[in-house]
Copies of this chain bind each other. A is one copy, B any other.
Amino acid sequence: MLNLARLQVFREVVTCGSFSAAADALSYTQSAVSQSVARLEAETGAALVVRDRKGVRPTEAGATLLRHAELILTQARAAEAELDAILGLRAGRLRVASFPSGGETLMPPAVARFRRAHPEVALTLVEGEPEEIGPRIRSGDVDLGLLYEFPGAHRAGLRPSVGLRARRLLDDPMHVALPAEHPLVGVSRLRLADLCHEQWVQTSSTSPCARHVVRTCLDSGFAPDVAFESDDYDTVQGLVAAGVGVALIPQLALSRLHSGVVVRSLTPSSPSRRVTVATLPGAGVAPAARSMIQVLSDVAARHRERARSTDPAVD
């Protein structure tokens, strides 16, 4: 197997025309150059240069090897340059998956920031539920996933981030959505138990959110009377506005508020889902992914700031 370092020495020898000059150019000793070329000749079994009084000249075999060496060394430099570009975020790609409401709220500003910082990284974003995103990360299908999970869900089943490296971004509280003219709108310090006789609108009963709503209601002493199910929170809002029932909606899904809906936080605290960003475990997190995690953390912090100043406790 040829040795790139030796090829480089050989090339320098030919271009310089002498071992000594090549040694100077490479900051080697003449001895090292001599030994390198001798070893190359031993490996190839061919005389590569003819030794002359004033230096050396390539033989035919040497000229042939040199021709290839130029190509090989150019290729090697190109490879190193492209790796450096990826590491320096001047190239490469980043594939991100997000749950729907995260993709609508957190991702747009994060994508904008990331693109501004690293315009040459090709960014793709797909949406899906956490239980789909986890496997896609594990399979290497995407590099980064925006997930949520509910505390205690590990009892009910596998958490989507199991086997992944997940970083907590924020806690997304679930608020009560009431029809605008609902009698409880004016009540301060609304408790979940106050809603025990309401009809409920929620996401499909197998979804983590719905399971968590039911679990929380049961903790408050009642089983929710589910009047309707929809996995789209805009539809849920429409149903609430139409008076079909009340709902617990994550704050991230309330970025667009239906005019016929009033949002109230719960006392003593709203149930909440934990939003995390997950990658494959281990040290092998791509620079682009690492950078995006940082961006997402900033965006999440900003989101928490804004959320604190607009807490819909009483309105």
Residues in A lying within 8 Å of B, measured CB to CB? 1-5, 8, 44-47, 49-51, 57, 59-61, 64-65, 68-69, 71-72, 75-76, 78-80, 82-83, 86-87, 92-93, 140, 143, 280, 282-286, 288
Contacts and interface: CB of A to CB of B under 8 A. Distances in A.
Contacts of A143: 60
Contacts of A280: 50
B76 A72 contact: yes
Contacts of A288: 60
A97 to B, nearest CB: 16
Contact of A50 (B45, B64, B282): B282
Contacts of A82: 64, 68
A297 to B, nearest CB: 21
Contact of A286 (B51, B59, B140, B286): B59
29 contacts: A1-B4, A1-B8, A2-B4, A2-B76, A2-B79, A44-B80, A44-B83, A44-B87, A45-B83, A45-B87, A46-B86, A46-B87, A49-B284, A50-B282, A51-B284, A59-B284, A60-B93, A60-B143, A61-B83, A61-B86, A64-B79, A64-B83, A65-B83, A68-B75, A68-B78, A68-B79, A69-B79, A71-B75, A72-B72
A74 B230 CA distance: 57
Given A1-B5, A68-B78, A140-B57, A47 B283 contact: yes
Contacts of A87: 44-46, 61
Contacts of A4: 1-4
A46 B5 contact: no
A76 B283 contact: no
Nearest to A139: B57
A211 to B, nearest CB: 29
Contacts of A57: 140
A5 to B, nearest CB: 5
A78 to B, nearest CB: 6
Contacts of A86: 46, 60-61, 64
Contacts of A51: 282, 284
Contacts of A72: 72, 75-76, 79
A79 B50 contact: no
A46 B51 CA distance: 42
B76 A1 contact: yes
A251 B219 CA distance: 121
A51 B163 CA distance: 12
A283 to B, nearest CB: 6
Nearest to A57: B140
A288 B282 CA distance: 57
A25 B146 CA distance: 39
A48 to B, nearest CB: 8
A284 B47 contact: yes
